[in-house]
Amino acid sequence: MMSPNVRPVLSALLRNRTGALLVALEIAIALAVMVNAAWIVAQRIHEMQKPSGLDIRDTFAIGVSALTSHSDLGAAQRADLAYLRSLPGVIAAAATSSVPFSHFGQGDSVARDPGPRAPAIDERSMQVDEAALATLGVRILAGRNFTAAEIQPLSSRMFAASPEVLITESLARKLFSDGNAVGKPIYLSDDNGTPMTVVGITSDFVASVWGKPSYDTALYPQTPGSYGNYFCLVRTRPGDTVALMNTALRHLATSNPDRVVFLAQTLQYYRQRVDAENRDMVIFLALVTALILSVTCLGIFGLTAFNVSARTKQIGTLRAVGARKRDVVAHFLIENAIVLFAGALAGCTLALAVGYWLSDQYQLPRLDLHYLAIGVVGVAVLGQLAAWQPARRAASVPPSVATRTV
Amino acid sequence: MLQYYIRLALKSLRRTPGLTALMVGAIALGIAACIVTLTVYHAMSGNPIWWKNKVLYAVTMDSWGADSPHDPQHPTLAPPQLTYMDATALMRSDIPKRKVIMTQELGTLTGAPGQSMPMHVMARATTQDFFSMFDVPFQYGGGWHGADLAALPEIVLSQEVNDSLFGGSDSVGRTILWNNIRFRVVGVLRHWAPLPRFYDVVDGAFATPEDTDQVFVPFSWVTTLRAMPDGNTDCHIHGPVANYQAFLTSECIWIEMWVELPNAARRERFQAYMDAYWAAQRREGRFPRPLNNHLTNVSQWLMINGVVSSDSRILLRVAFAFLVVCLINTVGILLTKFLRAAPTVGVRRALGASRRQIFTQHLVEVAMVSMAGALLGLALGAAGLSGVQAIYAQDNAYGMLAHFDPLGVAWALALAALSTLAAGLYPAWSIGRLPPAGYLKSR
């Protein structure tokens, strides 16, 4: 039933080659863009849905900086923490050198072996006290937390190795393939080879962010402040966070003239700022892809409509010699299907090329072929829908047109 | 003749209002998408001091250790910062017309009249040429002059700091405490936040509100105060530094250096000066790595430091793909539209119109469509940009990232005109080529 129809359709198609070719080209580009955009969007949504590993909603950070070079930051820190922990509604408070999801923080790289040539893994560093895990809402998966005695007092030294270290599960797996790191030594890659014993493995969580959020975090038992500032992280009862943050800010801003509070912000704020970049990309890609698809559909619609109006007389003749309305609709839909097929074929090649290039240039995972398959089906359905209305119009051409001269 | 063509074009466009709207709309959308992404891209990659691109150079010198390059992913690049020893040595040269070294310092401002709480500020510690070299605009006063260590140290405030501490009034001559030391205000900037912050890409080319330069202090105060830098500091020889003097003579890199070299001759002389310094130091046992002294201009500097985010590059390409689809669409529509009017063309040809005249006539029609599309696209693009800006403002991440600059408008117009004309050329040409006879006889 179908096969005898294809030949006349093909010869009709070949009469307006340029138009069909242009539409096929549009389809190819639209398919390539759509498939890869959908792939990127999926990655970004995955990124946004990744758990932080933290109690983001109920935690705020207060940043404190020394006012003069001789301020006693250690004493200031103890007083600040004592005050924060005394506030009703505060569940836990800790001093750290970095704020999760913000730019405030340090990074380093650690390795299984000493020396600058050992393969190292980049991590985000946090100097913490023994209360930090409870404040962050991070669990110990193996080994143990730091003890109070292990926390080194504030020193003016820059970031340096410590005898004990806690690492996240992700980092443990990257350093030791079985993830079994407890009791083993690791090394800061730009240090002289001081071994740091992994005393425990924590659940995955995001520390400060530089680039993409990462679960590779290492915790050092050091009183923060060697950079002249420290952060108090405070976890509160749900719902009290902002009110308590303002109370704490008012008190801390005036309680000690030797240091200043330069920041008071919820972790939610920083998380949203990180998510916003992904969200913007998702919105823009979705928008432009939708526009490309609609313009392509308009192109298909335009081509079919033109063909229909240019061939009114021939359609009339067809109808006069016995073609049913169905056959006329089928004629135009098959013609459109051929264009779609050619476009999709070129589009697949283009999509794969773009996908390869993206993964090569931007370290994106290789395009999942399911996306391509769904994209082809989607374009085929949309394309046929776009041609549907003009094809229906063609079917309504009365056979008598054949006898008229325009 | 042109008037006649315009009348013909208008008539033809009015005959098919749907198609005309479709063409204009598609071009407008494509151009709007390109304007938005181009502006964002331009803001991120654009050289904010392009007029001095040929004379400003970042100074780098590979002082890193023998074991591995500073950046293992780009082993040919020298580290982006200098040691204190090298920076001060290179600053002694008189070859550059202007020269600056700089670092970043966190600090506090107190003691302004009526100030209730200390203000935490990001300070740029730099040398006196900074303002003239980077064409920094002043609202009041100017930069500091002569010896950095004057009796009363001098400070320059950003417009924003001056607004919040002095209510925007002329504060030149007033004093303020920076890190508890009395400074005299000598200048107040007019809003100045080059994007990207080309002069210090190491500490973030797109400063978030928490690390924008708010005050400017003489560099010599950093070392006088024995302040550790708060900008990026990399050391390849680790272990604790004994004291501040040891830090200054260490191999730690923490200083950005820029020079202004007005011509090639001076550039070569300064390069020779650097190389001679390098050779002398190497004889004394420093610089284990091969000679890699570089003077890099601003646009190259932004490129090798990977300032443009990959997101905006992807978006730019997607937008261009969209414009291409829109243009292909327009070519298709124009082609079918012109072909449909072929009988009329046949008549005109038969009556003596030349191919060129037919071509010009259709090109006029194309130009009108493209102009309408471009104008509408500009309007849409401006609207889209304010949308993008609203999103950025809401995120509070980047300042005035995407603003509609005149250069952008010129670009957009050129883009619109060129692309549509290119799209219209083929249809106009193919309609001119049609043999008239066939169309005359068939109907």
Give the pLDDT mean for A327-331.
89
The DSSP code sequence of A181-210 is -TT-EEEETTSS---EEEEEEEPP---S-S
Helix (H) or strand (E) holding A64: strand A59-66
Nearest chain B alpha carbon to A260:
B118
CB A259 within 8 A of CB A67: yes
Q: In this complex, do A260 and B315 lie within 8 Å of one another by their Cβ atoms? A: no
pLDDT of residue A92: 94
Instruction: Give the mutation candidate from A291, A297, A312 for the B interface (greatest B CB count, under 10 A).
Output: A291
Q: In this complex, do A190 and B235 lie within 8 Å of one another by their Cβ atoms? A: yes
Nearest chain B alpha carbon to A294:
B26
Tens digit of pLDDT for each residue in B376-386?
Answer: 888 888 888 78
Q: Let me know how many helices (H) and strands (E) chain B has, helices first.
A: 14, 11
Highest-confidence segment of A327-331, B144-148, B320-324: A327-331
Tens digit of pLDDT for each residue in B315-349?
Answer: 878 888 888 888 888 888 888 888 777 788 888 88
Residue B122 CA to residue B103 CA, distance in Å, equals 11
pLDDT of residue B238: 59
In eight-state DSSP terms, residue B117 is: S
Residue A155, pLDDT > 80, answer no
Give the pLDDT mean for A111-120.
82
Give the pLDDT mean for B304-317.
75
Q: Which residue has the tokens 């829908």?
A: A385
Is the model more confident about A326 or about B149? A326
Q: Is B3 on the interface with A (CB under 8 A)?
A: no
Phi then psi for B397, rounded to 5 degrees?
-90, -60
Residue A26 CA to residue A347 CA, distance in Å, equals 9
Q: In this complex, do B325 and A30 lie within 8 Å of one another by their Cβ atoms? A: yes
pLDDT of residue B396: 42
- Interior angle at CA B305, CA B300 and CA B308, nearest 5: 90
CA distance A76 to chain B (A): 16
Q: Is B422 on the interface with A (CB under 8 A)?
A: no
pLDDT of residue B138: 93
The DSSP code sequence of A112-171 is SSSSTTS-EEEEEEEEE-TTHHHHHTPPEEEE-PPPGGGSBPP-SS-S---SEEEEEHHH
Residue B284 CA to residue A141 CA, distance in Å, equals 52
Q: Is B344 on the interface with A (CB under 8 A)?
A: no
CB A191 within 8 A of CB B238: yes
Question: Using 50, 70 and 90 to split pLDDT, how confident is the model at A1?
Answer: very low
In eight-state DSSP terms, residue A222 is: B
In eight-state DSSP terms, residue B102 is: E
Residue A213, pLDDT > 90, answer no
Least confident of A114-118, A146-150, A267-271, B269-273: A114-118
Q: In this complex, do A103 and B211 lie within 8 Å of one another by their Cβ atoms? A: yes
CA distance A140 to chain B (A): 30
CB B42 within 8 A of CB B408: yes
Nearest chain A alpha carbon to B34:
A288
pLDDT of residue B443: 47
pLDDT of residue B295: 94
Q: Which residues contact B279 (CB under 8 A, 6 or more apart)?
A: none
Percent of chain A whose predicted confidence (pLDDT) is above 70: 95
Which stretches of B189-341 are DSSP H helices?
Answer: 220-224, 244-248, 264-283, 298-304, 310-340
Q: Is B246 on the interface with A (CB under 8 A)?
A: no
How high is the ipTM of this complex?
A: 0.77
Q: In this complex, do A40 and B239 lie within 8 Å of one another by their Cβ atoms? A: no
pLDDT of residue A128: 92
CA distance B229 to chain A (A): 9
Strands B82-83 and B253-260: antiparallel
Of A16, A116, A262, the CB nearest to B67: A116
Half-sphere exposure of residue B8: CA atoms within 13 angstroms, side-chain side: 21
Residue A253 DSSP SS3:
helix
Instruction: Give the mutation candidate from B177, B225, B318, B334 for the A interface (greatest A CB count, under 10 A).
Output: B318
What letters, b where the CB count within 10 A reaches 16 and e where it falls short, cover B33-57?
bbbbbbbbbbbbbbbebeeeeebbb
Q: What letter represents residue B98's amino acid?
A: R
**Radius of gyration, alpha carbons of chain A:** 32
Per the DSSP assignment, residues forming a β-bridge with A198 are A165
Q: How far is CA B119 from the centre of its chain?
A: 30
Nearest to A222 by CA among A274, A282, A270, A164: A164
Residue A264 CA to residue B138 CA, distance in Å, equals 32
Tens digit of pLDDT for each residue in B165-177?
Answer: 999 999 999 999 9
Least confident of A283-297, B31-45, B102-116, B362-376: B31-45
Q: In this complex, do A67 and B333 lie within 8 Å of one another by their Cβ atoms? A: no
CB A393 within 8 A of CB A308: yes
Burial class (CB in 10 A: 0-12, 13-18, 19+), B264: exposed
Contact residues, chain A, for B318 at CB < 8 Å: 33, 37, 284-285, 288-289
Residue B19, pLDDT > 90, answer no
- Taking all residues of chain B, what is their mean pLDDT, rounded to a whole number? 82
Cα A281 to Cα A224, A274, B47, B404, distances in angstroms: 36, 12, 24, 20
Residues 159 to 198 of B: which have CB under 8 A from any A CB? 179-180
Residue A332 CA to residue A338 CA, distance in Å, equals 10
Q: In this complex, do A288 and B33 lie within 8 Å of one another by their Cβ atoms? A: yes
Nearest to B55 by CA among B296, B307, B306: B296
Give the pLDDT mean for B193-208.
75
- Taking all residues of chain A, what is their mean pLDDT, rounded to a whole number? 87
Residue A44, pLDDT > 80, answer yes
pTM of the model: 0.72
Contact residues, chain A, for B106 at CB < 8 Å: 65, 228-229, 262
Q: Is B224 on the interface with A (CB under 8 A)?
A: no
Q: In this complex, do B329 and A299 lie within 8 Å of one another by their Cβ atoms? A: yes
Nearest chain A alpha carbon to B67:
A116
Q: In this complex, do A69 and B225 lie within 8 Å of one another by their Cβ atoms? A: yes
Q: In this complex, do B332 and A67 lie within 8 Å of one another by their Cβ atoms? A: no
Contact residues, chain B, for A16 at CB < 8 Å: 336
The DSSP code sequence of B2-68 is HHHHHHHHHHHHHH-HHHHHHHHHHHHHHHHHHHHHHHHHHHHHS-TTGGGTTTEEEEE-----SSS
Q: Is B311 on the interface with A (CB under 8 A)?
A: yes
Residue A121, pLDDT > 70, answer yes
Q: Is B314 on the interface with A (CB under 8 A)?
A: yes
Cβ-Cβ pairs closer than 8 A, A with B, add up to 158
Q: Which residue has the tokens 């006889």?
A: B441
Q: In this complex, do B179 and A227 lie within 8 Å of one another by their Cβ atoms? A: no
Residue A67, pLDDT > 70, answer no
Q: In this complex, do B322 and A288 lie within 8 Å of one another by their Cβ atoms? A: yes
Tens digit of pLDDT for each residue in A276-328?
Answer: 778 878 888 898 889 889 889 988 888 888 888 888 888 888 888 888 888 88
Cα A106 to Cα A109, A207, B7, B241, B334, distances in angstroms: 10, 9, 68, 18, 59
Is the model more confident about B140 or about A154? B140
Nearest chain A alpha carbon to B318:
A33
Per the DSSP assignment, residues forming a β-bridge with A235 are A59, A92
